[in-house]
Amino acid sequence: MATSAKRSRSLTFRVLFLATLWSALALLVIAVVISTLYRQSAEKSFRDLLRAQLYNVINSVSADEEVRLAGTPQLGDLRFFQPQSGWYWIVEPIGETFSSEPLTSASLGSGSIPIPDTDGIPFDTRYERFYTTRDSFTNEVEVVETEVVLDDDGRTARFRVVGNRDVLEADIDDFTGNLYLALAGFGLGSLLLNVVAILIGLRPLDHARKALEKIRAGESERLDGEFPREIQPLASEVNALIDSNRRIVERARMQVGNLAHSLKTPIAVLLNESRAIAAPQDELVRTQAEAMQSQVQSYLNRARIAAQRDSVLARTEALPTFERLVRVMRRLNADKRFPLSIDPPGLVLAMEQQDVEETVGNLLENAARHARMTVTVRVVLAPPDVRGSDEGRRNWAVIEVEDDGAGLEPDQIREALKRGRRLDESKPGTGLGLSIVSEIASEYKGTFALSRGSSGGLLARLVLPATKDVA
C-alpha cells in the first residue's frame, strides 16, 4: 500500500502511466479500425472474385440444339477440381424446358449447397444475391447467384459460384495477427522512447532535488545551477525563501544577543548587592537573582532554538563534535576513561552545534562526576519508527552516555530531572544540567530519559533529530 501511494505521488510515474495508457488506447483503436477496414475490403474483394468467376461460368455455358445445358467452364483455379474444397460452380435449369441435369464442378461431387428462399434473401438491382451458408461437407461458404436467359425461347438457368470463407477468414486473421504484432512492437518502442524522453525532460527536476539536498546537508546555501524556464521561477522562490529564513534567524539571534546583553548587567548588580545585605536576606536575594538568571538563560536558549529548529541550515557533524567534547573531558578527568563509538561515522545532527555541545557536555560532566572509572558514549542512527508515525518522516540519532557509578533509583531519577535539584550536595554543581538537557531535547522534538545501565550506573538516553542523508 505504501509503495502504491509513493508511486501515485511520483511525477515520472504519473506521466509514464498516462502516456502509456493513452498510447495503448490509441493503438487499440487504430488496430480495431484498420482490421475492420481490412475485413470490409477483403470481403468486397472476395465477392468481386466470386462475381468474376460467375461471369466466366455464364460465358462458358449455353443451351445446345437438344435443349441441354452444355459447356465446360475453365476458371483457372485448381480448387474447383479438388473434392470438398468449398469452391464450386453450379448451373441448374429452371422450369421443364430443359432435358438435362444440372452442371457442377468436379469439386462438388455428390455434395449439395442449401439454397435459401428468395423472399428471405432477394436479388439486388443487378439481379444478383450473395449469402453465406454451409455445404454438405460443413465448410462455411459464400455463394453468389444469378439467373440468366440462355436463348430466344426464354430458357433460363440459375448460376452459382461458391467460395470457401475459411480462406477469407484465414487471410483476415493473418493480417490482423501481423497488424497487432506490428502495433505492439511500435507501442513498445514508443513506450521506451517516452521513458527516455520523459526522464530527460524531468532531469532538471532531479537537479533541483539534488541542489535542495545539498542545502539540507549544509553543503550549499542556495539553489545553484541553470534551470529551464518552467522551473526557474520555482528555484527563484526557493532561494527567496532561504534568504528570508536566514534573515529571520539572524534577526532572532540579534534580538537574543541584545536581550542577553541588556539583562546581564542588572542581574550581575543584583548578585553583587546581595553580598552586602545582612543575613539572612542576602541568601534570599542571591537565590532569587540566580534563579532569575537561570530562567532568563533558559528562555533565551528556547528562543534561539525555536529560530533554528526547522532551519535547513542547522547542521552539526557528530564525529568531530563528540571527539572534541570527549577530548576535553579526558583532560579534566585524567583518571577516567571515555570510550566513544559513532555509527555511522558520517552521522549529521539537524541541530545547532552550540545546542549539541550543551546537551552532551552536561551529560558528560554529570557522568564524569559520578563515575568510578569509565564513561561510555554511544551514538547510533535510530530505526525509522523510533519517534512514531508523527515524526516518521525524519531521521533520529540515539545518544547514550553511561557511567559505572552507583546509579539512581526510579524515584531519584524523577527528582534529578527537576530544575535546580541536586541529589548529591557533596559534589559541585547547580542542579540545572539535566533539566537544561531535557528542555533542549524537547525544543527539538526529541526525548531524554534516565535509567539504570548495564554496568549498574546511570544511563542517559537522548533521541535527537538527524539529517535524512548521512554524510
pLDDT of residue 110: 85
The answer to whether 104 and 57 have CB atoms below 8 angstroms apart is no
Q: List the one residue out of 362, 364, 399 whose CA is nearest residue 379.
A: 399
Burial of 326 (C-beta count, 10 Å sphere; 0-12/13-18/19+): middle
The residue ranges of the chain whose pLDDT is under 70 are 1-9, 97, 99, 216-219, 253, 256-258, 260-261, 264, 278-282, 291, 294-314, 384-394, 418-433, 468-471
Q: What is the pLDDT of residue 231?
A: 75
Q: Nearest to residue 184, comparing CAs of 39, 37, 20, 41?
A: 20
Q: What pLDDT does residue 216 have?
A: 67
Burial 395-419 (b: 16+ CB within 10 A, else e): bbbbbbbbbbbebbeeeebeebeeb
DSSP code, position 456: S
The C-alpha cell of 28 is what?
487499440
pLDDT at 264: 65
pLDDT of residue 235: 79
| Strands of 373-456, DSSP E | 375-381, 395-403, 447-452
pLDDT score of 132: 93
Reported in sequence order, the residue ranges of 258-394 that DSSP labels E, i.e. its strands, are 316-317, 340-343, 348-349, 375-381
- How far is Cα 187 from Cα 22, in angstroms, rounded to an integer? 11
Task: Report in angstroms the alpha-carbon separations of 226 from 11, 12, 205, 231.
Answer: 21, 21, 11, 10
Map residue 30 onto helix, strand or coil: helix
Instruction: Output the pLDDT for position 429.
Output: 44
- Do 97 and 67 meet the contact criterion of CB atoms below 8 Å apart? yes
pLDDT at 163: 93
Grid coordinates of 158: 440459375
Alpha carbon dihedral 363, 364, 370, 372, in 10-degree steps, equals: 140
Q: Which residues contact 253 (CB under 8 A, 6 or more apart)?
A: 304, 307
φ, ψ at 397 (rounded to 5°): -110, 140
- pLDDT value of residue 471: 53
- Give one DSSP letter per residue of 331-359, joined into a string: HH-TTSB--EEEESTT-EESS-HHHHHHH
At residue 56, the 3 state secondary structure works out as helix
Q: What pLDDT was estimated at residue 298? A: 62
Pairing verdict, β 156-164 and 88-94: antiparallel
Strand partners, 330: none
pLDDT of residue 470: 57
In the numeric block, which cell numbers belong to residue 222?
Answer: 542556495
Instruction: Report cis status (omega within 30 of 0) of the bond before 266.
Output: no
pLDDT score of 43? 93
Distant-in-sequence, close-in-space partners of 67: CB < 8 Å, separation ≥ 6:
97, 98, 99, 100, 155
What lies within 8 Å, CB to CB, of 367 at 6+ separation is: 375, 401, 402, 403, 405, 457, 458, 460
For residue 64, what pLDDT is reported? 76
Grid coordinates in use for 100?
A: 438435362
Name the residue type at position 93.
Answer: P
pLDDT at 3: 52
State the DSSP H helix or E strand holding residue 161, giving kind and residue range, or none if neither.
strand 156-164
CATH of domain 316-466: 3.30.565.10
- What residues contact 425, with CB distance under 8 A and at least 6 apart? none
Task: Measure the CA–CA gap between 363 and 348, rounded to whole angstroms.
Answer: 19
Which DSSP helix (H) or strand (E) runs through 159?
strand 156-164
Identify the helix (H) or strand (E) that includes residue 271: helix 232-276
Q: State how far the Cα of 92 lies from the Cα of 94, in Å rounded to an integer.
A: 6
Q: pTM of this prediction?
A: 0.50
Whole-angstrom distance, CA of residue 200 vs CA of residue 218: 28
Q: Which residues pair with 148 in a beta bridge?
A: 157
Residue 76 three-state SS: coil
Q: Is 62 helix (H, G, I), strand (E, B) or coil?
A: strand
d(CA 357, CA 360): 5
Q: Domain segments of the chain: what residues?
A: 1-201, 232-308, 316-466
